[in-house]
């Protein structure tokens, strides 16, 4: 079957996706061109901003790929105080970003839960409810998710990292603190409460196959997500998975495969939000712009106070750690206009998929 014939199908089979993930050369360009047209027709050429606040790198998890895992004793731990978070959120508000993301290591202590709730309430107060709030704070109880939602957070990103249970346990410890079903249940809970729900995976993991990636895309379609963040796996020397570094596909291929994943997901889920993740820029200086051209529509400029950025090191060679929030702001327009898009200043940029009256959950 020709590539065009596959692309024009109303839905993709697993074999269709596998074939698309193997594309290169002119066929890959055809995929990217088709995905760009789907994006233009369904959500336009506006890129929405999420000012990223990396609240804390303290984490109770011990994921085998992550630089801020609990067992990494070489990590310099930090937690922003509430005032620092509010100041960063005010910067986003004053500069018309429209939305922020509060991201942290996964902690579920009472003090952490209360801290996040206080921050949400204060941000809503100082911005008169005009700034959107996305959280990415890991697995929490139903009560915690509901409290944060009622206080004003309305989007939640919880990455599955791999939707294949067998692979999930190759990149996480197999214990009660890293349970595949618990993570799935958390995604279900978030949807039931009413959040716009996002998830995502890493591309190019040890032990990962193209079949795994195809299943990840089908998983996201079945879960009926509203937003997605996918990035290439970039190894960190202070993690257990680093020992497999010599068996990984090259960084450039991890980058290209991530672009193909974004393009295919855009075709499969025409009106969701897809982030151009920072990890893409680690491999290619204009990696995020390339992702925007073929399907992504969300940028997350880092507005974390500069002195903490080196410490939030999920992977090696994270870009922009030597910049401050003002530096990031100054290059946004240039980067977005470079690929013939515009920035949606002052807009929440909610997922059109979430608002679609025909949307039904399949989880």
pTM listed for this prediction: 0.95
Any domain includes 91: yes
Any domain includes 360: no
Q: What is the pLDDT of residues 316-353, one digit of tens each?
A: 665 555 556 666 667 888 889 999 999 999 999 999 99
Any domain includes 285: yes
Q: Left (φ > 0), alpha (ψ -120 to 50) or beta: where does 24 sit? A: beta
Any domain includes 190: yes
Q: Are 222 and 362 in contact, with CB atoms under 8 Å apart?
A: yes
* d(C-alpha 215, C-alpha 162), whole Å: 9
Q: Are 85 and 53 in contact, with CB atoms under 8 Å apart?
A: yes
Distance, C-alpha 70 to centroid of its chain:
21
Per-residue pLDDT at 317: 63
Q: Which domain holds residue 136?
A: 3-348
Per-residue pLDDT at 363: 44
Any domain includes 49: yes
Any domain includes 244: yes
Structurally, how many domains does the chain consist of? 1
CATH number at residue 155: 3.20.20.70
Any domain includes 165: yes
Any domain includes 85: yes
Q: What is the pLDDT of residues 236-285, one digit of tens each?
A: 999 999 999 999 999 999 999 999 999 999 999 999 999 999 999 999 99
- Kindly give, in sequence order, each residue whose CB lies less than 8 Å from that of residue 322, ignoring residues fewer than 6 positions away: 306, 309
Distance, C-alpha 189 to centroid of its chain:
19
């Amino acid at each position: 079957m020709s590539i065009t014939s596959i692309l024009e199908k109303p839905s993709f089979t697993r074999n269709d996706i596998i074939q698309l993930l193997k594309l290169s050369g002119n066929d890959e360009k055809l995929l990217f061109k088709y995905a760009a047209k789907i994006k233009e027709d369904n959500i336009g050429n506006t890129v929405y901003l999420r000012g990223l606040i990396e609240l804390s790198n303290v984490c109770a998890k011990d994921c085998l790929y992550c630089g801020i895992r609990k067992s990494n004793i070489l990590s310099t731990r930090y937690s922003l105080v509430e005032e620092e978070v509010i100041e960063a959120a005010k910067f986003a508000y004053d500069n018309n970003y429209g939305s922020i993301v509060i991201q942290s290591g996964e902690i579920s202590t009472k003090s952490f839960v209360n801290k996040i709730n206080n921050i949400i309430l204060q941000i809503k107060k100082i911005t008169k409810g005009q700034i959107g709030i996305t959280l990415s704070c890991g697995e929490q109880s139903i009560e915690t998710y509901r409290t944060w939602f009622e206080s004003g957070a309305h989007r939640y990103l919880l990455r599955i990292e791999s939707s294949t249970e067998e692979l999930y346990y190759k990149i996480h410890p197999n214990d009660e603190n890293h349970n595949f079903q618990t993570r799935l249940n958390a995604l279900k809970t978030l949807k039931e409460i009413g959040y716009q729900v996002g998830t995502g995976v890493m591309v190019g993991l040890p032990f990962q196959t193209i079949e795994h990636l195809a299943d990840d895309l089908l998983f996201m379609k079945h879960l009926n997500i509203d937003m997605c963040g996918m990035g290439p796996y970039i190894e960190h020397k202070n993690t257990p998975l680093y020992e497999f570094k010599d068996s990984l596909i090259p960084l450039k291929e991890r980058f290209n495969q991530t672009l193909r994943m974004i393009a295919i997901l855009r075709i499969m889920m025409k009106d969701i939000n897809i982030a151009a993740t920072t990890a893409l820029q680690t491999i290619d200086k204009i990696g995020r712009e390339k992702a925007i051209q073929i399907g992504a529509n969300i940028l997350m400029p880092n507005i974390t106070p500069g002195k903490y950025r080196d410490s939030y090191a999920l992977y090696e060679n994270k870009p922009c750690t030597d910049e401050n929030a003002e530096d990031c702001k100054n290059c946004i327009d240039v980067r977005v206009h470079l690929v013939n898009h515009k920035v949606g200043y002052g807009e929440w940029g909610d997922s059109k998929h979430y608002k679609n009256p025909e949307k039904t959950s399949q989880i």
